[in-house]
Amino acid sequence: GKHRIVIPCLGHFKEEYEKVSKLYMNNKIRTTRYTLLNFLPRNLFEQFHRIANLYFLFLVVLNWVPLVEAFQKEITMLPLIGVLTIIAVKDGLEDYSRYKMDKQINNLVTKVYSR
């Protein structure tokens, strides 16, 4: 199994420390839900878990069927697109504020006491 080696004074052991420290996760705090690459798919996935959004999506899909078409196709898409956009902007701003707070916490100066 793996075990952890803690070297308080690097001195001669700097190379060994660099090799060993690559095996472990860093100590940074990350409370954000999204990255730039997964924001859109993950946000849409989370939004379509809400029943109201699924209902609006059902109405949009139903309106594309020529037999059932009640309004113009684009008009039925507006409420869904509006709600999804507003919620995505809100989630993005909240996640960005979490990112800034994480960055601030991760860059705090820490005192380490040893003998």
Q: What are phi and psi of 19, to 5 degrees?
A: -65, -45
Task: State the CB neighbour count (10 A cutoff) for residue 67.
Answer: 5
**pLDDT higher than threshold 70 for residue 105:** yes
47-101, pLDDT tens digit by residue? 999 999 999 899 888 888 888 777 777 888 888 999 999 999 999 999 999 999 9
As given in the structure block, the two tokens for residue 104 are 């601030």
pTM over cut 0.75 = no
CA–CA separation, 44 vs 38, rounded Å? Answer: 10
Q: How far apart are CA 93 and CA 100, in angstroms?
A: 11
